Amino acid sequence: MGDSRCDVISRERFDAVLLDMDGVLTDTASVHASAWKRMFDEFLRARAARSGEAFVPFDIESDYTRHVEGKPRYDGVRDFLRARGIVLPEGAPDDPPQAETVHGLGNRKDQLVNEVIAAEGVRVFPGSVPLLERLRAAGIKTAVVTSSQNRARVLEAAGLGALFDVAVDGHTLLERGLNGKPAPDMFLEAARALGVDPARAVVVEDAISGVEAGARGGFGLVVGVARKGNAAELASHGAQHVVADLSELLD
């Protein structure tokens, strides 16, 4: 990582790399997207049946990417409902998954994700472990920065927990009153916890909201991971370097 072969991330230029989890390190973004669709489609179908309006399903390509991906769970619920002109009570974090509230819908989505993880486990993308090991061997600190409140469960299932110096997740966001992505708060909190200047840190993200957060935070480099063939879109929202997999950052 620190030799002349790598001109993207080197120890000379950077002290830390801050990585998102779902869709960057682990193939859990697809699990989340499917859970969001199932939850919202069930809600929208029932709502349409009651009102007599047409059922317009949740679209992963547009709705998930624009309104939900990378954001804290309840922010994703709010933003999608707002886009559809739907107003629901906020409810409370302990609302049951059946409740038609912002928190209830978010909790239903979380329940669906946990069921899939428990049944199928977590797949790690090929380049994740080699990159993390190379970074740490080069003396570059690492942090996982995710809006997910399932971070510990996912990392444990993926066998990645020991490869990070710091973790900032959905629980951190709530405990410290941070703003979720696309605000840079979570990445800035990770840099603070690592004791590094944001200008000496790299942000690695696959979501539009994530690369926007990196661009707004004054970080030294924002890397987009275009697993959906969306390199141009990530670049237009703030990614300065785009790869298809983390293995491309190894050499």
CB 28 within 8 A of CB 22: yes
Beta strand 241-243 pairing with 221-225: parallel
Side-chain half-sphere CA neighbours of 219 within 13 A: 37
Task: Catalogue the E-assigned strands of 68-147.
Answer: 141-145
Identify how many contiguous H helices and E strands the chain contains and give both numbers: 9, 6
List of E strands, 57-200:
141-145, 166-168
Active site residues: 20, 22
List Cα–Cα distances, 180 to 49, 77, 108, 168, in angstroms.
Answer: 34, 13, 20, 11
Chain centroid to CA 170? 10
Q: Classify residue 10 by its DSSP letter.
A: -
Phi first, then psi, for residue 17 (nearest 5°) are -125, 125
